[in-house]
Chains A and B, each alone.
Chain A
Amino acid sequence: MQNPYLPYPVRIDEIVTETEDKNLKTFKLVFLNPADEEKFYYKAGQFAELSVAGKGEIPIGIASSPTEKGYIMFTVNKVGLVTTHLHSMKEGDVIGIRGPLGNSYPWDILQGKNIVIIGGGFAFTTLRSSIVYMLDPVMRPKFKDIHVIYGARSPEMLLYRDELAGWENSSDINMHITVDATDDPDWKYNTGFVPTITEQKALPGNAETYAIICGPPIMIKFTQPVLDKLDYAHDHIIMSLEMRMKCGIGMCGRCNIGKEFVCKDGPVFTLAQLDKMPKEF
């Protein structure tokens, strides 16, 4: 019997400090046993439990794309016991990874459609995975227009800045980077909150267009009315939720919203699904 709680051992291959406040670091992990990489077959939008021996586990969205081989990548915000310890670790250290967990963005449905990605803050990780996945030369023809609206408090708080710059210059994707405010005279992108930029830049809703939203609750709260105004049907608005989790496989009982477990039945739900669930998130 497979033990779903047993993490694959991985080595920290590279650590990148992403943001100026140093609270976000990206960890590139390599499997100690190459065979485990095969077993860890994932889709964009899934997450995994990072396991630090002696400290515990923490569920984190997978930031790398399944099209990137040889490593997996996580961007970790320093908040609690496990993540604080992770931030103090160094390249070469051994941790564990358990997963992939949860559903993913509904890629079967999304193929052949326009995709509008709306993201804010450090929740951009699984959105990065999705963008890289869609921009893969093999995958790109399978999607129509791709728009990305991504905002952070300030330019220094944006994740994956080099990649963002590359996407800005690509004709495969319409990038709309925004910051809440900046005093940088050379800032050449948008200034303003994500909902405002969404209203200006997002495609109008129709049967061929899906919005994927991931960000802090406040951003989601104010973006939702904008999407309503743009005529997005609720089953065309896709969200990824966060909850406190432990097992990640729908067994330990804490992350439910109504009868659904966010870790197993989610974390990705359409707004139409969420409309029917108790408002407990």
Chain B
Amino acid sequence: MNLGYTMKVVRIDKKNWVGDIENLSRSYRLFGPVKDDNFHRFEELDKDKLPDLDYFNTRLSPKSIVYPQSETMFEYCLDERKKDHHVMKEASKDYSQRAVIGIRPCDAAAFLLVKRNFDTPECKDPYWVKAYEATTFVGLACNNPHSACFCTTAGCGPFHEDGLDILLIDAGNHYFAKIITSKGENLLKAAGWDTKVDAGKEIESMKQNAETGITSFIATNKLKDKITADLFDAPFWEDMAFACINCGTCTYACPTCWCFDIQDEVHGCSGTRMRNWDSCMYPLFTLHGSGYNPRNTGMQRVRQRFMHKLKYYVDKYDNGIQCVGCGRCVSLCPVNIDIRKICNTMNSYEK
């Protein structure tokens, strides 16, 4: 819930940071970026472990904090002598309150795009929704965006606040914390941050400075008015998709890709029903039992991925593209398939 009044800003002295995090860890499960060889990744922070906020972004998105790559849905017993054999039982889960410290604004905004899929008026995915609702998102504004970041033209930005409960801004010896929601207010209290300041102007100028640091852009303005079949049948897909090796890198790294598979696993007489991330890049994703596959070729699967993000999603929700411009797929793709190039091609395509 967004706070109705003018946003509050507090100053957090970095020399108190260790103690503040310790305070938080008493009432929250904490997650944050940690360094791992050359890259950062999000993980649950053990006691005494601090989030490493001196980072650009994590290699994989933090979506797994709410939506793990593999997750148990149900457990069951296959021993016919036991009561309730073959009946699915809910797996026990920890949905106690958790906080992500230092998530980038693009990644937090991505949860809102995914929410449209998992949290609908007719039906809610209980695993995603419960984990999401249990999480307080403490963002870290990007003072120095990278050259592959294109968030400002992907409906987002380096100081973007939608999807965050608190936005931290690194101002040298201290952070400014902008309190965005009541969830954020609660975390503020738990941390003991109470030095209110009037830093509106300073933050605004840092924000403008960061936005000018974004040098990569996409054009999306015409996507909505394009005819789906025209884009679908466009001749450029063969060329665009040629290099793609149909691995799952882009989909697994992406903060807004949500597709999953449901699989049973059995060990002896006990079984679990799991859900695992899946990828539209894989041929088995759509293979029918009969052997027929509506997306049999690599080109068809590449087209599906980009049509979904840049056209179907746009049409379905009328709320922009399914991309926040984090640039991960661009920098991790083994063969340099670039969503920026494809988006611009789609946007400017005339039949």
Residue positions of A touching B, CB distance < 8 A: 1-7, 9, 32, 51, 53-58, 79-80, 83, 93-96, 217, 242-244, 246-247, 249-259, 276-281
Contact = CB atoms under 8 A, between A and B. Distances in A.
Interface in B300-326: 300, 304, 307-308, 311-313, 315-316
A95 B86 contact: yes
Contact of B76 (A4, A5, A53, A252): A53
Contact of A6 (B88, B290, B308, B313): B88
Q: Is the interface of B mostly helix, strand, loop or mixed?
A: mixed
A54 to B, nearest CB: 5
B126 A1 contact: yes
Interface band, chain B: 35 or more
B88 to A, nearest CB: 6
A51 B126 contact: no
Contacts of B170: none
A254 B232 contact: no
B280 interface: yes
Given A53-B78, A242-B288, A277-B228, A253 B260 contact: yes
A250 B123 CA distance: 9
B262 interface: yes
A56 B255 CA distance: 28
B73 interface: yes
Contacts of A58: 289
B264 A259 contact: no
B278 interface: yes
A117 B45 CA distance: 61
Contacts of A254: 259, 278, 280, 285-286
Contact of B87 (A94, A246, A276): A94
14 contacts: A1-B124, A1-B129, A2-B126, A9-B88, A53-B88, A56-B263, A246-B260, A252-B278, A253-B117, A253-B308, A258-B228, A258-B312, A259-B313, A278-B232
Q: Is the interface of A mostly helix, strand, loop or mixed?
A: loop
Given A244-B286, A251-B118, A258-B312, A278 B228 contact: yes
Contacts of A94: 85-87
Contact of B262 (A32, A242, A252, A280): A252
A253 B258 contact: yes
Nearest to A81: B289
| Residue of B273, B278, B287 with highest tally of chain A CB at under 10 A | B273
Interface string B259-270: 111111010000
B125 interface: yes
B260 A252 contact: yes
B308 A256 contact: yes
B338 interface: no
A268 to B, nearest CB: 17
A79 to B, nearest CB: 4
Contact of B286 (A1, A243, A277, A279): A243
Contacts of B86: 9, 53, 93-96
A6 B288 contact: no
A61 to B, nearest CB: 14
| Residue of A32, A57, A252 with highest tally of chain B CB at under 10 A | A252
B175 interface: no
Nearest to B279: A253
Contact of A278 (B74, B130, B229, B280): B229
A5 B90 CA distance: 10
Contacts of B155: none
A251 B117 contact: yes
A253 B280 contact: yes
Contact of A251 (B76, B125, B232, B271): B125
B294 interface: yes
Contact of B315 (A5, A54, A259): A259
Contacts of B126: 1-5
